[in-house]
Amino acid sequence: MRALRLPAWKTEPELVEVDEPTPGPGQVVVKIGGAGACHSDLHLMHDFEAGALPWNPPFTLGHENAGWVHALGAGVTGLEVGQPVAVYGPWGCGTCARCRLGIDTYCENPAGAPVPGGGGGLGLDGGMAAYQLVPAARHVVPLPEGLDPVQAAPLTDAGLTPYHAIRRSWSKLPPGSTAVVIGVGGLGHVGVQILKATTAARIIAVDTRDEALRLAEEYGADLALRSSEQTAEEIRKATGGHGADVVLDFVGADATLRIGAAAARTVGDLSIVGIGGGSLPVSFFSVPYEVSIQTTYWGSRPELIEVLDLGARGLVRPKTTTFRLEDAMSAYRKMQDGTLEGRAVIVP
């Protein structure tokens, strides 16, 4: 089969011929119906060098995947060949306290994981190929009725990551509150929908691209602001001077972190999700009192099941553009150039 593989750090991925995987005991092979293209893949191609992450290329890209069960390894029960499924992407050891709760993202025994701190498309082979080997059946989540693999694939990361970040801030988003979403691309435009579906907060979207802002408004943003030096002030003005109860930064650059810190309300949350390489000086007077600043990484398996439910009920619908495996690189180029709408999904 053909696979889109990252051969080394700081290189372009290439489409190469590889063997079809066969499942060992407890493992599952998934026939890929959709593999989402994430901006993190662009970071993998351009920003990292050997030693920066606990794993290295070569591996097949694609860490947001859904499809159908293709083959079951010895001892796997509860799944059937042909059944539509999503793949939970972060793969921990399976036995530590965190993994037992389905929080493989924060596995505390990385040496016991198939790859430390990674998963399929992140150190091990991902879904940009006809088939993907999933090393443990617990990572294979049956799709609820009403959700096809192309819709489900982006929910496993572009949906799950904002869902996890928003969920931990739910208590700060009662009616009358304001949430700001900075960067309404693949993750952010789903984040707007998740805020709309699970909270009563007023939503302010911030981006550098007018098309992204239009998409955010289409999905329920109450106010869309072009990212600039004035953005924080505009957010304060729009909130009666109070600021935003929750800021979700899906960019993570110096400029957006500055906006987030200046726009946050006292006792608010600033969640840094984007891996834009920026930093934020924190001192007694640099952020409003009692603002909590946190990074978040992906989400848990139980949360994935909740996101898939939102998707199946039509409450969260990622805007997708599909590409053939041969054209995957053009999807990444569009993402880089800012000409992609919503999420690109590769259909091998």
DSSP string, 32-85: EEEEEE-HHHHHHHHT--TTSSS--S-EE---EEEEEEEEE-TT--S--TT-EE
The CA-based dihedral angle spanning residues 10, 16, 22, 25, taken in that order and rounded to the nearest 10 degrees:
0
256 binds ligand NAD (CB under 6 A): yes
- CA distances to 83, 221, 246, 281 from 286, rounded to whole Å, are 52, 28, 17, 7
Binder to ligand NAD among 96, 147, 192, 273 (CB under 6 A)? 273
For residues 265 and 243, the answer to whether their CB atoms sit within 8 Å is yes
- Residue 198 near which of ligand NAD, Zn ion, none (CB within 5-8 Å, type-dependent): none
187 binds Zn ion (CB under 5 A): no
250 binds ligand NAD (CB under 6 A): yes
Report, in Å, the least distance between residue 41 CB and ligand NAD: 8
Report, in Å, the least distance between residue 345 CB and ligand NAD: 12
153 binds ligand NAD (CB under 6 A): no
Binder to ligand NAD among 255, 262, 305, 312 (CB under 6 A)? 255
For residues 185 and 216, the answer to whether their CB atoms sit within 8 Å is no
- CA distances to 132, 139, 293 from 245, rounded to whole Å, are 41, 34, 12
User: Total residues at the site for Zn ion (CB under 5 A)?
Assistant: 9
149 binds ligand NAD (CB under 6 A): no
Per-residue binder mask for Zn ion (CB under 5 A), 98-127, x = binder: -x-------x-x------------------
Residue 53 buriedness (CB in 10 A; 0-12 / 13-18 / 19+):
middle
Per-residue binder mask for ligand NAD (CB under 6 A), 32-71, x = binder: ------xxx--x----------------------------
Number of Cα atoms under 13 Å in the Cβ half of residue 270: 24
- Residue 325 near which of ligand NAD, Zn ion, none (CB within 5-8 Å, type-dependent): none
User: Which residues, 312 to 341, sit near ligand NAD by CB under 6 A?
Assistant: 335, 338
Angle between helices 301-312 and 160-167 (to 10 degrees): 110
**Closest CB to ligand NAD among residues 173, 213:** 213
Report, in Å, the least distance between residue 99 CB and Zn ion: 3
Sign of the CA dihedral with 239 first, then 298, 276, and 321 last: negative
Residues making contact with ligand NAD (CB under 6 A) = 38-40, 43, 157, 161, 182-188, 206-209, 212, 227, 250-253, 255-256, 273-276, 296-298, 335, 338
